Amino acid sequence: MNGQLGMTGKGTGEGYGVLTIQQHILQEQQKFPEASGEFSWLLSGITLATKQIQAKVRRAGLTDILGAHESGAENLHGEVQQNLDVFANHAIMRSLAVRDSVATLVSEENDRPVMLRHSTGQPRYAVIFDPLDGSSNIDVNVSVGTIFSILRLPATMDSIEDGLLQPGSAQVAAGYVLYGSSTVLVYTAGNGVHGFTLDPSIGAYVLSHENIRMPERGKYYSVNEAYRDAFPRPYREYLEGLRKGEFGRPYASRYIGSLVADFHRTLLKGGVFLYPPTAEHRQGKLRLLYEVNPIAFLAQQAGGSALDGTEPILDLRPTGIHQRVPLVVGSPFEMQQFEPYRSRLREEQMVFA
């Protein structure tokens, strides 16, 4: 077909310069004849919503959308909802509510799952998302992101929680959109990790990072150093080893405080990102279902790996839709260097400074 249409690329649209995310998903879908068009229709709901969100984020300083929502409402985590959080949550909900294949939505901003339709009969999906992660950074123009995870719901469930509390290894797709110097969507459907940059001139996400592979090792570690003394000793000693060059060469530190931005750098440049437990956050701060599981799936698909400190993230059986877990995610080399500390975390009673 490429020859007939004059396209010279290897399916990358080189002949015409761009391959949009819709075309990419349809191409991917052709590899799985049993797959219906449902997934691409579902994903188009996410791409549409994130285009609306990025339009607001790009103009945040020009409208009164900055700052906390006038209601002063807090989400269940006690975080004051920013206007853009509310807008982003509604944009995704509206977009996905009209996708028949979506039965349930779970959002960081909603205490309970939103039931759209019963999941009996044809396969139905649950979309689990953080509509605007890192939103506290919005007012200072630091990158923020949307993170999503997609699960197929079983045909029969005793309760919707049964269908939602599947291990991360059950995800059928996951990804994020980073509203940074450009808007980049990165996703996996279990067949590699691919990145698309929004081209504002045509309003489409176009393929910019095909088949992303995490480098074998990097030169950065990423952690909130302010809590260093509060981490259990094995974490403290691993970080000290990185800083002092005990694993071959000293590392530099990079920490943005926006998970999507910190992970995107780790995915492209290699290295390691950590959010360990502290006395204040004994289970860590990051949420398993809509922050850590998607990140872990992407890392694994790109050749890296992710732990909760001792166990592979993707093996964890969730106990609640807003459950928090510690996270160590990175390149093969840095994760290999973490192994002795992982063993000590298993053996030692978790002692907080």
Q: Which residues bind ligand P6P (CB under 6 A)?
A: 133-134, 136, 224, 257-259, 262, 285
Provide CB contacts within 8 A for 281, sequence distance 6+: 324
The C-alpha atoms of residue 119 and residue 124 are separated, in whole angstroms, by 5
Residue 177 phi, psi dihedral angles, 5° rounding: -120, 125
For residue 190, report the phi and psi dihedrals to the nearest 5 degrees: 90, 5
Of residues 262 and 308, the one with the C-beta less far from ligand P6P: 262
Min dist CB 105 to ligand P6P, Å, is: 19
What minimum distance in Å lies between the beta carbon of 277 and ligand P6P? 12
Choose between 87 and 273: whose C-beta lies nearer to ligand P6P.
Answer: 273
Shortest Cβ distance from residue 168 to ligand P6P (Å)? 18
Q: Output the smallest distance, CB 52 to ligand P6P, in A.
A: 21
Q: Tell me how far, at minimum, the Cβ of 345 lies from ligand P6P, in Å.
A: 20
Cα separation of 76 and 57, whole Å? 23
Nearer to ligand P6P, 67 or 257 (CB): 257
Closer to ligand P6P by Cβ: residue 262 or 334:
262
What residues contact 189, with CB distance under 8 A and at least 6 apart?
A: 25, 28, 39, 172, 173
Smallest distance from ligand P6P to CB 67, Å: 16
CB nearer to ligand P6P: give 18 or 142. Answer: 142
Strands 193-199 and 252-253: unpaired
Is the dihedral angle over the CA atoms 257, 263, 268, 269 positive or is it negative? positive
CB of 222 to ligand P6P, least distance (A): 9
Count Cβ atoms below 10 Å from residue 123 Cβ, excluding itself: 15
Fill in the amino acid letter for 22.
Q
| CB of 310 vs ligand P6P, minimal distance in Å | 20
The number of residues in the chain equals 353
Cβ closest to ligand P6P, residue 85 vs residue 334:
85
Closer by beta carbon to ligand P6P, 42 or else 184:
184
Structural tokens at position 213: 């592979």
Tokens standing for residue 151: 């699960």
Please report how close the Cβ of residue 34 comes to ligand P6P at its closest, in angstroms. 36
Considering the complex, state which of residue 45 and residue 271 has its C-beta at the smaller distance from ligand P6P.
271
Q: 116 or 174: whose CB is closer to ligand P6P?
A: 174
Q: Three-state SS string across 258-309, please?
A: CHHHHHHHHHHHCCEEEECCCCCCCCCCCEHHHHHHHHHHHHHHCCCEEECC
C-beta atoms surrounding 30 within 10 Å? 9
173-179 β-sheet, strand order: 114-115, 102-107, 124-133, 144-153, 173-179, 183-188, 193-199, 204-209
Residues 6+ apart with CB under 8 A from 3: none
What is the residue-wise DSSP string for 23-68?
HHHHHHHHT-TT--THHHHHHHHHHHHHHHHHHHHHTGGGSTT-SB
